[in-house]
Chains A and B, each alone.
Chain A
């Protein structure tokens, strides 16, 4: 059973039969000092900081995994209205938060 995620209020083509309420997942991650140093050097000439893009993607994936785990435990097979939120808590560390509504669709 694949868990469907959407960021709209329905799952297109499906009917919602049961609501389970809010589910969320979050993670705080930091890059190691060497990669931080590398990013500092890259700061001189600008451009994309690949190490940080990667960091954000990895942690977002982990937050989503936690969200899905919570929804599965409730017996849901879809999460609607998914929202992301990011905050910086310290130098080089970021908190990724993802939340949505767990539902069962048919």
Chain B
């Protein structure tokens, strides 16, 4: 019985606090995405204009986002039945968007960021994912 109560409490805490943290994070992501809309990011490398280039450099950003207890339990249950595991989708989405934002914040004045690459990895045993975004920031001669 005590075990069941403990599980219920953990699930409730995970669900309520977890979804609040997630909502807050999404709000901040959307706000910053709007602010950084002016900085173009492309996945190709042949988008250079025919203008003299002042400088270029590698920029990167990363974020580690963890799942909450509720997501972990529900995710494992869904895993058993197979199919779409929707609870983990927002986790990866948040990590990637946060990583891209941090990369942009490293070079807010760049004219364009070329060849964006996103890489995702898990941190073993921690039910969390790490996203890394990197690209080449190019500054044209003013």
Contact = CB atoms under 8 A, between A and B. Distances in A.
Given A4-B56, A7-B115, A49 B65 contact: yes
A52 B123 contact: yes
B5 to A, nearest CB: 16
Contact of B25 (A42, A47, A49): A47
A90 B124 CA distance: 7
A46 B22 CA distance: 8
A40 B58 CA distance: 33
Contact of A43 (B48, B60, B68, B119): B68
B63 interface: yes
A5 interface: yes
Chain B, interface SS category: strand
A5 B135 contact: no
Contacts, number: 134
A74 interface: no
A56 B72 CA distance: 23
B130 interface: yes
Contact of B66 (A9, A12, A49): A49
Interface residues of B, number: 48
Contacts of A52: 64, 123, 126, 128, 130
Interface in A38-71: 39-40, 42-50, 52-53, 56-57, 60
Given A8-B45, A44-B68, A87-B121, A56 B136 contact: no
B134 to A, nearest CB: 6
Nearest to A78: B56
A49 B128 contact: yes
A12 B115 CA distance: 12
